[in-house]
Amino acid sequence: MKINSFLSCKLMVLMFILCGCSSNNIITSETKDPFEKLNRKIFNFNKKIDQKIVAPIGSAYEENIPAAARNAIGSHLDWVDTPSTIFNSTIQMDLKNTILSSAKFMLNGLTLGFYDLDKGETAIKKKDFGSTLAKFNVPEGPFLMVPILGPKMTRDFTGTIWDKYIMTNVSSDSLNNLTLLETPLETIDTRSKISKTIDNIYESPDPYVKLRSYYIQNRRNKVYGKNYVDFKNNKSDEEFEKLLE
């Protein structure tokens, strides 16, 4: 069953490659938000969940768990997510990142990732299926606010779903169970790390627009890297610059 599912995923990736080869990779500063009315409602829903549940837990987590322990937990969560980077680096034909991430994953497997035996010397670039689709020129699509999950571009939301599906079918059952159990912990750990940024967004005149701009700019920078930085230098996103100055 897992083999058949994996072959199906490979076929889908191949179709994306064939479609992407016929077009150029265009980085745009345009914000596509045709679902803004619905997105705002979902944003307000997510905001209430965050302020009433996630943020208080995140604050308690930061106040009561020593920094060393939080760092160990963060390192472990990164380790659990590394197979996705290995898989997508392979699909993107990034041989260097594939080798380095594989080696680091196996090495830190000795501590289940709680301690980085590499001591941060090996720099790997985290990759997901959304970035794989971008690699093969699949358009990023409209902006979406997803219940609980938060902001996503359509392409990246599709990538998130396929990342979960693919890794469920190619990873061991024990790693899948570990990932499932630690999803809430990852949410809390991430929230505690970006609490100041989120609070700053909530305090802005239009939190929805600011979150949208913040997410899109950071996501494009993560996916396209230097190409996007160079693009912004030549044609800056006025909305982003105005809101995040």
User: Could you read off the pLDDT of 153-163 as tens digits, one per residue?
Assistant: 999 998 888 87
The runs of H, that is alpha helices, within 21-148 are: 36-49, 55-64, 67-91, 95-108, 129-135
Domain ranges of the chain: 2-13+32-193, 194-245
Q: Which residue has the tokens 């693009």?
A: 231
pLDDT reading at 170 higher than 70: no
Does 229 score more than 90 pLDDT? no
- Residues 7 and 142: their CA atoms lie apart, in Å, by 29
Q: According to the per-residue pLDDT averaged within each range, which of 23-32, 48-57, 133-142, 233-242 is highest?
A: 48-57
Q: What is the pLDDT of residue 14?
A: 46
CA dihedral 40, 46, 51, 53 (to 10 degrees): 170
Question: What pLDDT digit, counting tens, does each position of 33-89 carry?
Answer: 999 999 999 999 999 999 999 999 999 999 999 999 999 998 988 888 898 899 999
Q: φ and ψ at 218, to 5 degrees?
A: -70, -40
Contact 45, 145 (CB under 8 A): no
Between 178 and 32, name the one with better pLDDT.
Answer: 32
Nearest to 110 by CA among 120, 122, 118: 118
- Using a 10 angstrom Cβ sphere, with 0-12 exposed, 13-18 middle and 19 or more buried, the burial of residue 236 is exposed
Above pLDDT 70, what percent of the chain? 73
DSSP 145-167: EETTTEEEEHHHHHHHHHHHHHH
How far apart, in Å, do the first and last CA atoms of the chain sit?
A: 51
Measure the CA angle with vertex 86, ends 99 and 130; round to 5°. Answer: 135
Quote the pLDDT of residue 7: 45
Question: In the structure encoding, which two tokens stand for residue 210, read together?
Answer: 């600011």
Exposed, middle or buried: residue 242 (CB in 10 Å: 0-12, 13-18, 19+)? exposed
